[in-house]
């Protein structure tokens, strides 16, 4: 059998990063992957989703250009062209990931891996010994539980639907559901979104949730809260969704975006004694060690924070412990994130509710305005910006935005929060004019 210092199961963002960095430090590394390299992010998540988000923006951009003097025939959208070009780009990225691994000296094994024991991994008919094993198998979409659920698709299938769904039903209220709802509405579909809760995007700041929901409706999404699907069946004109309130919807496709589950089954984890929690996630300590010595896990499969940059950071911390100084630690505080709804959401730090719960008295600064671009575009889209500040220390605890390029703007403010910036520091910073971002350093009066 081959002998390795590290054997990585899973070729997603976290697994590839760990394998590369370990190999570059002189470790003998193998990585097993049965699918396309890059994992969910590259193939079925972040990258294709944002490409489709860009595509959806063009529909309204052409309309908005009239206010700036542009004239011409309205363009038409070709779904097949978008799908083809996306597939070409994803294939290119798959190749980049393979070159990075091979170039670093990682032995790439194609096939599904299975743990034979705490130090042995079987891929196909071959067994491989390793001093350390890393499980980085990611997550998978959770399927709904109602009659006819097999007729619904998950986010995995959304990028290659054929034909384009003129009538799309989205089930769910998380970021994936909201993103696809606004993307397909922007591409020209008639979108209905059902969510069983009182407001979408649970876990985000309440002002952000209410604001983006209103903007989504303005973009054409038929958002129905406290609603859900009782059953789904085929009909002569597509699919028929029976709703909990007794009404029915005729649609062409149904997206079930009701969450993601750790992808930990079927690789022999429990057979060798690796502990899973009640949700099927691998239980790890602060150093990403499982209940079995020398078996580690990172990324979505441990279900801490399901974000690609988090998996990358976890990989770096793990490799440093195994093959470096061991001083690098993973910090889950003030992790910025973006939601590519239309308009975008960018957020870092605590929500208002979280801040009040942890710190007691807080000051809230909030601004809701029409961006300069839309004074001529004719669009009614508005932007929301919000700061959450600790009353006692003046430290900025949360930065939240809904608006164009929110992720690009909030990334910079995430550095400020990580550095412990106070509201006084924000106030002393000169803004860049005219930009939306300057609003974060010009808000002076707290709201009631």
295-326 confidence digits (pLDDT tens): 999 999 999 999 999 999 999 999 999 999 99
pLDDT given at position 178: 98
Q: Is the pLDDT of residue 367 over 90?
A: yes
Q: Determine whether 433 is an active site residue.
A: yes
Strand 295-297, strand 126-135: pairing: parallel
pLDDT given at position 448: 86
* Cβ atoms of 401 and 204 closer than 8 Å: no
Backbone angles phi, psi at 110, to 5 degrees: -95, 115
- Cis bond before residue 434 (omega within 30° of 0): yes
Query: How many percent of the chain have pLDDT more than 90?
Result: 98
Q: Is the pLDDT of residue 78 over 80?
A: yes
Nearest Cα residue to 215 out of 336, 65, 344: 344
For 158-186, write each residue's pLDDT tens digit.
999 999 999 999 999 999 999 999 999 99
CB neighbourhood size of 143 (10 A): 15
Nearest Cα residue to 167 out of 90, 87, 235: 235
Query: How many percent of the chain have pLDDT more than 70?
Result: 100
* Cβ atoms of 344 and 402 closer than 8 Å: yes
Can you tell me the distance from the alpha carbon of 392 to that of 209, in angstroms, rounded to the nearest whole number? Answer: 27
Residue 126's pLDDT band (boundaries 50, 70, 90)? very high
User: Burial, 447: exposed, middle or buried (Cβ in 10 Å; 0-12, 13-18, 19+)?
Assistant: exposed
pLDDT given at position 2: 80
Q: Is the pLDDT of residue 1 over 80?
A: no
Residue 67's pLDDT band (boundaries 50, 70, 90)? very high
pLDDT given at position 149: 98
For 240-280, write each residue's pLDDT tens digit.
999 999 999 999 999 999 999 999 999 999 999 999 999 99
Task: Specify the residue for token string 């009909």.
Answer: 235
Can you tell me the distance from the alpha carbon of 120 to that of 127, in angstroms, rounded to the nearest whole number? Answer: 7
Q: At what angle do helices 175-186 and 206-218 cross, to 10 degrees?
A: 20
Tokens of 37: 């390299």
Can you tell me the distance from the alpha carbon of 323 to that of 184, in angstroms, rounded to the nearest whole number? Answer: 45
Q: Give the chain's mean pLDDT.
A: 97
Average pLDDT over residues 109-134: 97
pLDDT given at position 74: 86
Domains contained in the chain, CATH given? 2-140+261-323 (3.50.50.60), 149-258 (3.50.50.60), 337-441 (3.30.390.30)
């Amino acid at each position: 059998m081959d002998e390795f210092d590290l054997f990585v199961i899973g070729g997603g963002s976290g697994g590839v990063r760990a394998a590369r960095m370990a190999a570059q430090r002189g470790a003998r590394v193998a990585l097993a992957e049965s699918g396309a390299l890059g994992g969910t992010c590259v193939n079925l998540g972040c990258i294709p989703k944002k490409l489709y988000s860009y595509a959806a923006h063009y529909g309204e951009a052409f309309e908005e250009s009239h206010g700036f003097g542009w004239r011409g025939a309205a363009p038409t959208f070709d779904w097949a062209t978008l799908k083809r070009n996306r597939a070409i780009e994803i294939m290119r990225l798959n190749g980049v990931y393979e070159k990075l691994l091979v170039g670093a000296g990682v032995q790439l094994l194609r096939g599904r891996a299975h743990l034979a024991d705490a130090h042995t991994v079987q891929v196909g008919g071959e067994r491989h010994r390793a001093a350390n094993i890393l499980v980085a198998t990611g997550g998978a979409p959770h399927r709904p539980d109602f009659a006819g659920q097999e007729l619904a698709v998950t986010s995995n299938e959304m990028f290659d639907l054929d034909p384009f769904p003129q009538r799309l039903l989205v089930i769910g209220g998380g970021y994936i559901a909201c993103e696809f709802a606004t993307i397909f509405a922007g591409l020209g579909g008639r979108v209905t979104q059902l969510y069983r809760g009182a407001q979408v995007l649970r876990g985000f700041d309440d002002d952000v949730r209410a604001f983006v929901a209103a903007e989504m409706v303005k973009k054409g999404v038929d958002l129905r809260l406290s609603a859900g699907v009782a059953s789904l069946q085929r009909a002569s004109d597509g699919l028929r969704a029976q709703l909990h309130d007794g009404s029915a919807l005729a649609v062409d496709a149904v997206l079930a975006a009701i969450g993601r589950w750790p992808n930990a089954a079927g690789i022999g984890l429990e057979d060798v004694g690796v502990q899973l929690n009640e949700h099927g996630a691998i239980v790890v300590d602060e150093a990403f060690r499982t209940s079995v010595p020398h078996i580690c896990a990172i990324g979505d499969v441990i279900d801490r924070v399901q974000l690609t940059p988090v998996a990358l950071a976890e990989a770096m911390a793990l490799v440093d412990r195994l093959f470096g100084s061991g001083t690098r630690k993973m910090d889950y505080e003030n992790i910025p994130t973006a939601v590519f709804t239309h308009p975008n959401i960018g957020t870092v730090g605590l929500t208002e509710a979280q801040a009040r719960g942890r710190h007691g008295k807080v000051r809230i600064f909030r601004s809701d305005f029409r961006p300069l671009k839309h004074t001529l575009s004719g669009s009614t889209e508005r932007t929301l910006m919000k700061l959450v500040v600790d009353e006692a220390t003046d430290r900025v605890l949360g930065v939240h935005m809904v608006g164009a390029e929110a992720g690009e703007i909030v990334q910079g403010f995430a550095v400020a929060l990580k550095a412990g910036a106070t509201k006084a520091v924000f106030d002393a910073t000169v803004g860049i004019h005219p930009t939306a971002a300057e609003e974060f350093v010009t808000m002076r009066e707290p709201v009631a």
